[in-house]
Chain A
Amino acid sequence: MKITRILLTVLMCALVWLSVTSCFFNSSPVYINTKNTRNIHMIVKMNKGDYWNTVKLGAEAAAKEFNVKLTFKAPDSESMIDEQVAMVEDSISQHADAIILAASSYMGLAQVVDQAAYSKIPVVSVDAEVGSAKVRAYVGSNGYEAGQKSAERLITLLNGTGEIGILNFTSASLNEQQVSGSIDYGARDADEREKGFLNYAARYPNIDVVQISYTSSNTTEAEALTRQMLENHPGLRGIATLNETASQGAGKVIQSQGLDNIIKMVAFDSSPSMLELLQNGTVQATVIQNPFSNGYLAVKYAVEAVQGMEVPERVDTGTKLIDLDNMLYPENQKLLFPFVR
């Protein structure tokens, strides 16, 4: 009897409690929890270049928004795969909450990414994919599509005939110690772009891709390669460059040699110097990505992954072909020129 009474009282209390609390509490929407500071390491291909700066800007914007302590690391050059691997290993040993990686080599970093996943550190790859199934999300553009856009425009500019040279970056052929294997040691984005370009160009019988050179993302080297290409192929009518440094190098050579009207060039990415060349007419078009979005979204999804939220496997931030006509469209201005204070 006593027990029943106590039980009844407790039940009554609980009911009253429930009815009272239900009046006041509303269910709150799901946010990214910004109470705890997350330690996120971002490792990109190299520590110079406007492209990576913009990626960093985006990442920093997200870091500020989601209370992330962002550690930004990059080797001096895109070809320094071992350094990049070491950086990832460092991050693992420092128990980063998440790692964002723009892999310089598709296979070269696969193993270390698996290792990170083994240490329960989510990995988000940005810009360039890495050959690991453990990657939680990929944020970047579709390289194949970008290559095709570049090819389409260059071929149009050439009216479908002529010799074309391609200036690409980090590839297996450059790294001598890995030449032997059939494994793809190049950067995934470089390969994809090249593949897209070549596949598109293959439809035009009169288009002849006469040379593909690879630079390790060094403007001077790119300039040298361009000069060499121009020497080797005096009949060269078009140049496609597939990343920022290559574009800058090639652009410089064309401008300095006064080949503006002879050689058509489709560049890649939107560094200010590139845009200047575009406005000058040295370069006819450029394929741009969304480095700011890439950086921002990579950090955002990394935070979500740390929190165990569902993250999309692939996020395509898109590519766009910019030429002199559309570069001042308001929406393109916004993409081309980061709003930096």
Chain B
Amino acid sequence: MNKSKADFFPLRPQPGQRGRMRLSAKLRSIQLIITLSFTTVAVLVAVIVGFMLYNKFAKTAEENANLNMQQIIEQVNYNLELYVKGMGNIFDTAEKQITTSASIDSPLLNERMDTLMSSREDLVSVAVFTPQGQYVVGTPGQQMRLNTQLQSQSWFTSAQKSPDISYSAPHIQNLFKGKYTWVVSISKMIQYKQDGELKSGILLIDFNFRTIDQLSRQVKLGKRGYAYILDPLGNIVYHPQQQLIYAGLKYENVEPVLEYAYRSYLDESTGEKRFITVRTVEETGWKIVGVAYYDEIVTTKRDLNQFLIWFLAVVILCVIAVSVFLSWLIAGPIRKLERTVKLVGEGDLNTPINVSGAYEVEQLSRRFNLMLQRIRQLMDQIIYEQETKRKGELEVLQSQINPHFLYNTLNSVVRLAERGKNDEVITMIQSLSKFFRISLSKGNNIITVQEELDHIRHYLVIQSFRFKNKFRFEIKAQDEVLQLQTIKLILQPIVENALYHGIEMSPDEGLVLITAELQQDLIVIKVSDNGIGMSKEILNTLLSGGVKSGKTGGGSGVGVRNVNERISLYYGREFGLTFESELEEGTIVTIVFPALSSSPVEKGGEES
């Protein structure tokens, strides 16, 4: 099928080429381009916007969380400072009572100490020691243990070293019988009176962790976050998992904490991101350290993250859907149009193109439809014209050897010969031979005007014998015209008509006048006669083929209409025959066609 089509239409793009182009062509399709570019741009924008929003929000969330944590720690720090101050106050009170007391072992002081002890739940013990480590006085009812090694304990040594109140690291209270408890000791060298003598001694007050624990326990930094307290040396004073740390099961990275009094930073030493906030309690130099887990702080961040991902996913899906739809909307009609045009291209000119869609595409299809109609019209016309041309040429071919004419003429020659008119026979035969030579003219369709005029002259000579000198004829031609071109056998049917229909019926002597002249690059040949003429009706039907003039008599068989059509097909619609006729007066036939020089004579061969 394809092969035969290819044979018929070698210049048309063949289907074989399409396979090669398929992939790249697909990549260049409008739909894909629109979809891809639209999607890319939209996704890019969405991602960038999402990312920026995310960053912005995340940063804000992080900052807020950080700030929040700092505030919490600040609050704890404040409470702790208050508590430490409270401890200091208690210490001062105790000191004042001891120094102002007349004697260290007075019952009044003992009572006061008892009151002090019972006033606070977090007080473990109060005691005064001599600088040598001897027990002087203390909370009533407490008994010293043996081997306390108190001289080497930090509260004892630091009280001897510095005149200020000193706070110890957490340690075990091993001085008095009873429970071993973890305490923080406050100690200071003070003056007291014993037996009227002013002595110096070390006042020790032990606090347990009840209040510190309460203060720190309030700290809620997310689900896992916590706060712990360090002393200036890096000992852990309080930690929610103190025992775990003491047992060595957990570690706290305290080195970066110790370097700063006031700081917030991100710690990754445990492999987990943690926010660390450090504040320092003024009095003791204790550092309260808040630890919050980054991934908990930034739950908002994660929520946001999740939301953004879903949002982006939905947006992207929507964008893809929309862009696919949009591109389909645009490319669909175009593709339909393309398919239809392909059908047309393959030869089916009757394919209707009814593509609906975008305005432009509709217009395009409408215009294309119009064009197609026009093409169809032109095609029909061409087909019609070709057919007519061929028919006309066939008729001309037939007329070249018209047996009827030949037979009549030969009859006339026989008659002349019988009468012994030898000269006339010779003239007749000569004319006949020349007539046929020009008729055939080597098969050329195009001859010179000279030849055409010669041809009609011979015809008229022959006919004048037949009509027994019933008419005269005259041929006038300008010299310029003679070498110009004409299609052959255009005069003979006209002259024949003039003779058979005009002059033969006329009682008067006929006259056939043929003139050929050049008028503004046009050859104008006029054939006039003084025959009976034609009525308007006949005149009108003459060219439309209503009257087949050749049939009526011994005509050549090539009609006037044939001449007209041949001229207009060959030279153009505007050229051809015009008739002027008046009854009883005669007829003038004018032939007009462009003047072409005879040099490209060979063109005639093409046409036949």
Verify if B520 is at the interface (C-beta below 8 Å from A): no
Which listed segment binds A: B134-142, B312-320, B527-535? B312-320
- Would you call A335 and B246 a contact (CB within 8 A)? yes
Q: Which of B336-395 contact A (CB under 8 A)?
A: none
Q: How far is the CB of B4 from chain A (nearest CB, A)?
A: 28
Given contacts A13-B320, A280-B147, contact A293 B172 (CB under 8 A): no
A29: contacting residue among B271, B317, B324, CB under 8 A: B271
Q: How far is the CA of A297 from the CA of B152 in the complex (A)?
A: 34
Q: How far is the CA of A330 from the CA of B246 in the complex (A)?
A: 9
- Would you call B54 and A24 a contact (CB within 8 A)? yes
Interface of A is mostly: helix
Q: Which of B1-44 contact A (CB under 8 A)?
A: 39, 43
B180: contacting residue among A275, A292, A293, CB under 8 A: A275
- Would you call B172 and A333 a contact (CB within 8 A)? yes
Q: How far is the CA of A339 from the CA of B213 in the complex (A)?
A: 12
Q: How far is the CA of A341 from the CA of B169 in the complex (A)?
A: 17
Q: How far is the CA of A176 from the CA of B39 in the complex (A)?
A: 86
Q: How far is the CA of A290 from the CA of B47 in the complex (A)?
A: 55
Verify if B145 is at the interface (C-beta below 8 Å from A): yes
Given contacts A16-B43, A17-B313, A328-B153, contact A292 B169 (CB under 8 A): no
Most buried by A among B47, B180, B272, B320: B180
- Would you call A290 and B247 a contact (CB within 8 A)? yes
Given contacts A296-B247, A330-B171, A337-B172, contact A9 B43 (CB under 8 A): no
A324: contacting residue among B147, B182, B213, CB under 8 A: B147
Which listed segment binds A: B235-243, B437-445, B507-515, B590-598? B235-243
Q: Which of B36-79 contact A (CB under 8 A)?
A: 39, 43, 47, 50-51, 54
Q: How far is the CA of A58 from the CA of B249 in the complex (A)?
A: 10
Q: How far is the CA of A48 from the CA of B414 in the complex (A)?
A: 167
- Would you call A276 and B145 a contact (CB within 8 A)? yes
Verify if A21 is at the interface (C-beta below 8 Å from B): yes
Q: List 10 A-B contacts (CB under 8 A).
A: A16-B43, A17-B313, A20-B309, A29-B272, A280-B145, A324-B147, A330-B169, A335-B246, A337-B172, A339-B242
Other 11 A-B pairs with CB < 8 A, given A24-B305, A292-B243, A328-B153: A13-B320, A17-B313, A23-B51, A24-B308, A292-B247, A296-B244, A324-B147, A330-B169, A333-B171, A337-B172, A339-B243
Most buried by B among A293, A336, A341: A341
- Would you call A293 and B313 a contact (CB within 8 A)? no
- Would you call A328 and B172 a contact (CB within 8 A)? yes
Verify if A235 is at the interface (C-beta below 8 Å from B): no
Q: How far is the CA of A30 from the CA of B320 in the complex (A)?
A: 37
Verify if A338 is at the interface (C-beta below 8 Å from B): yes
Verify if B107 is at the interface (C-beta below 8 Å from A): no
- Per-residue contact bits, chain B 408-432, to A (CB 8 Å; 1 contact, 0 not): 0000000000000000000000000
- Would you call A13 and B316 a contact (CB within 8 A)? yes
Q: How far is the CB of A5 from chain B (nearest CB, A)?
A: 9
- The residue in chain B whose Cβ has the minimal distance to the Cβ of A64 is B241
Q: How far is the CB of B310 from chain A (nearest CB, A)?
A: 11
Within 8 Å CB of B600, what residues of A?
A: none
Chain B residues at the A interface, C-beta cutoff of 8 Å: 39, 43, 47, 50-51, 54, 145-149, 152-153, 169, 171-172, 174, 177, 179-180, 182, 209-210, 213, 235, 241-244, 246-249, 271-272, 295, 305, 308-309, 312-313, 316-317, 320, 324
- Would you call B248 and A24 a contact (CB within 8 A)? no
Within 8 Å CB of A25, what residues of B?
A: 305
Verify if A57 is at the interface (C-beta below 8 Å from B): yes
Given contacts A292-B243, A296-B249, contact A337 B182 (CB under 8 A): yes
Q: How far is the CB of A251 from chain B (nearest CB, A)?
A: 15
Q: How far is the CA of A21 from the CA of B316 in the complex (A)?
A: 13
Verify if A233 is at the interface (C-beta below 8 Å from B): no
Q: How far is the CB of A271 from chain B (nearest CB, A)?
A: 11
Given contacts A16-B43, A330-B171, contact A9 B243 (CB under 8 A): no
- The residue in chain B whose Cβ has the minimal distance to the Cβ of A318 is B248
Most buried by B among A12, A24, A324, A335: A24
Verify if A312 is at the interface (C-beta below 8 Å from B): no
- Would you call B209 and A341 a contact (CB within 8 A)? yes
Within 8 Å CB of B241, what residues of A?
A: 61, 65
Chain A count of residues within 8 A CB distance of the other chain: 39
Within 8 Å CB of A216, what residues of B?
A: none
Within 8 Å CB of A339, what residues of B?
A: 182, 242-243, 246
Q: How far is the CA of A293 from the CA of B245 in the complex (A)?
A: 10
- Would you call B47 and A20 a contact (CB within 8 A)? yes
Q: How far is the CB of B145 from chain A (nearest CB, A)?
A: 6
**Which are the 8 A-B pairs with shortest beta-carbon distances?**
A334-B246, A339-B243, A339-B242, A293-B247, A333-B172, A24-B305, A292-B247, A337-B172
- The residue in chain A whose Cβ has the minimal distance to the Cβ of B238 is A339
Within 8 Å CB of A338, what residues of B?
A: 243
Within 8 Å CB of A296, what residues of B?
A: 244, 247, 249
- Per-residue contact bits, chain A 307-341, to B (CB 8 Å; 1 contact, 0 not): 00000000000000000100010100111111111
- Per-residue contact bits, chain A 5-37, to B (CB 8 Å; 1 contact, 0 not): 000010011001100110111001100000000
Q: How far is the CA of A175 from the CA of B295 in the complex (A)?
A: 56
Within 8 Å CB of B313, what residues of A?
A: 17, 20
Within 8 Å CB of B148, what residues of A?
A: 279
B295: contacting residue among A28, A324, A335, A337, CB under 8 A: A28
Verify if A272 is at the interface (C-beta below 8 Å from B): yes
Within 8 Å CB of A29, what residues of B?
A: 271-272
Within 8 Å CB of A336, what residues of B?
A: 172
- Would you call A293 and B43 a contact (CB within 8 A)? no
Verify if A162 is at the interface (C-beta below 8 Å from B): no
Within 8 Å CB of B316, what residues of A?
A: 13, 16-17, 20
Q: How far is the CA of A328 from the CA of B179 in the complex (A)?
A: 15
- Would you call A57 and B243 a contact (CB within 8 A)? yes
Q: How far is the CB of A248 from chain B (nearest CB, A)?
A: 16
Q: How far is the CA of A92 from the CA of B447 in the complex (A)?
A: 126
- The residue in chain B whose Cβ has the minimal distance to the Cβ of A338 is B243
Verify if A281 is at the interface (C-beta below 8 Å from B): yes
Q: How far is the CA of A294 from the CA of B262 in the complex (A)?
A: 37
- Would you call B312 and A293 a contact (CB within 8 A)? no
Q: How far is the CA of A341 from the CA of B47 in the complex (A)?
A: 53
- Would you call B249 and A293 a contact (CB within 8 A)? yes
- Would you call B249 and A20 a contact (CB within 8 A)? no
Within 8 Å CB of A328, what residues of B?
A: 149, 152-153, 171-172, 174
- Would you call A293 and B248 a contact (CB within 8 A)? yes
Within 8 Å CB of A12, what residues of B?
A: 39, 320
Q: How far is the CB of B220 from chain A (nearest CB, A)?
A: 15
Given contacts A13-B320, A61-B241, contact A280 B179 (CB under 8 A): no
Q: How far is the CB of A286 from chain B (nearest CB, A)?
A: 14
Q: How far is the CA of A25 from the CA of B149 in the complex (A)?
A: 57
Within 8 Å CB of A58, what residues of B?
A: 243, 247
Within 8 Å CB of B145, what residues of A?
A: 276, 279-280
- The residue in chain B whose Cβ has the minimal distance to the Cβ of A292 is B247
Q: How far is the CA of A52 from the CA of B174 in the complex (A)?
A: 23
Q: How far is the CB of A65 from chain B (nearest CB, A)?
A: 8
Given contacts A24-B309, A272-B180, contact A13 B317 (CB under 8 A): yes
Q: How far is the CB of B210 from chain A (nearest CB, A)?
A: 8
- The residue in chain A whose Cβ has the minimal distance to the Cβ of B241 is A61
